[in-house]
Amino acid sequence: MKLIYPACFYPCEESGYTVVFPDLPGCVTEGDNLAEAMEMAIDASSGWLLASVEENKQLPEASNIKSVIPDEYENGFVSLIGVDLDEYSQKHGNKAIKKTLTIPAWLNTIAEDNNVNFSQVLQSALKDQLGIHNN
């Protein structure tokens, strides 16, 4: 799912930009320069939108860029930010993915007799294999 939302960019006093999304309450980020602010805007909006989807909330409708007027700060401007939510969720989503695997019947029987949670075992084994120790 590809989405586009307007973002307000405000130059910071020292350097860089603060980015605010009028349609995504609380979604604010910043970057040390315009390129980084744009990159951070894509990441912040993607995270905000993915969290909404995972919580089964309806996504807000994007405002027309012509109706968004930067306020409060001098020299602010509005730009459209594109989000590929499918791509972002594949990398960062918490939504469970179904995997099909094959094990010997004898191993399956013993595991089921011992009430083994196959998903938990697979997740633990994958984390060990990949050296992931923080989750």
**Across residues 70-90, what is the average pLDDT?**
83
SS3 call for 6: strand
Confidence of residue 123 (pLDDT cuts 50, 70, 90): confident
SS3 call for 3: strand
- Model pLDDT, residue 29: 94
- Model pLDDT, residue 120: 84
Confidence of residue 19 (pLDDT cuts 50, 70, 90): very high
The tens digit of pLDDT for each residue in 89-111 reads: 777 766 666 677 888 889 989 99
- The three-state DSSP-derived secondary structure of the chain is CEEEEEEEEEECCCCCEEEECCCCCCCEEEECCHHHHHHHHHHHHHHHHHHHHHCCCCCCCCCCHHHCCCCCCCCCEEEEEEEEHHHHHHHHCCCCCCCCCCCCHHHHHHHHHCCCCHHHHHHHHHHHHHCCCCC
**Across residues 55-75, what is the average pLDDT?**
84
pTM assigned to the model = 0.67
Kindly list the structural domains of the chain, giving each domain's residue range(s) and its CATH number in brackets, ordered by start: 2-92 (3.30.160.250), 96-135 (no CATH)
